[in-house]
Amino acid sequence: GLLAAAAGDAKLCLMWLGIALVGDGVDGTLARRVSVKQVLPGIDGSALDLVIDYLTYVVVPAVFMHRFGLLPEGLISIALAAWILLTALYCFANVGMKSGDNYFVGFPAIWNVVALYFWLLDLSPWFNAAVVVVLGLLTFTTVKFLHPFRVKALMPLNIAVTTVWLLCCIALVVIWPARPGWLFGLWLATSVYYAAVCAWRTLRGP
C-alpha cells in the first residue's frame, strides 16, 4: 500500500487497504478457531494485531491523504497527517476501546475508510481537513461505533449491509472516475445505515 501510494497509484493502494480490511474482519475468528493462544502461548496475538492495524488503518491512509492532495497543501497537510497518527495512538492504547456489547467507544481510527470516502466523494481539501479534526476529537468521546463482526444485535443484517458496502466500494474504486447513480446511491445507503446504527447506540446510553 505504501509503495503504491509512493508510486502515485491510488487505486492499487486502496485495493491493498481493502484486502487488509477484509483480513482484519476474519483474523480474530480464525485465530480462535485454531486455538492460537494454546498453540503459541508465547505470542501475544492481540499486540501483533494492533501493530498491523495501526499500519493499515492509520499510517498508510495518512500517507494516502497527503500524497493524493486530499488535504490542504503544505504544512497543513503534514500537521493533519500527524494529528491522525497521534489521535490513533490513544485509540489503540485505550483499554476501554470497546463497550460491553462490543461497540467501539470513540472514533475507532478507521482512517482507511475515511481515506476511501475522501477519494470517492472528491470534496474540498478544506472540508476534508475539518472532518479529520472532528473525527480525531471524537476519538476521546464515548460516541459508539459499530463493529459489524462482533456486535451480536442485528449481526446477520450488519454483516449483510457491510458485505454490500464492501462490494460497492470495490466496484467504485475499479471503475473510478465513473460513478453510476444506482451504485453510488447503494453505497451511500449502506453508509447511512452504519451511521444510523452508531447514532442509535450512542443515544441509547449505557
pLDDT tens, residue by residue, 54-112: 999 999 999 999 999 999 999 999 999 999 999 999 999 999 999 999 999 999 999 99
Percent of the chain's residues with pLDDT above 90: 87
DSSP string, 172-205: HHHHTT---HHHHHHHHHHHHHHHHHHHHHHHH-
User: What's the pLDDT tens digit per position in 25-58?
Assistant: 788 888 889 998 899 999 998 899 999 999 999 9
Q: Which of 61, 63, 57, 64 is nearest to 23 (CA)?
A: 57
Report the C-alpha gap between 186 and 164 in whole angstroms: 8
Average pLDDT over residues 106-119: 97
* pLDDT at residue 150, rounded to an integer: 87
Statement: residue 173 has pLDDT above 90? yes
* pLDDT at residue 149, rounded to an integer: 86
* pLDDT at residue 130, rounded to an integer: 98
pTM: 0.93
User: What's the pLDDT tens digit per position in 10-28?
Assistant: 999 999 999 999 888 788 8
Whose grid coordinates read 449505557?
Answer: 206
* pLDDT at residue 59, rounded to an integer: 98
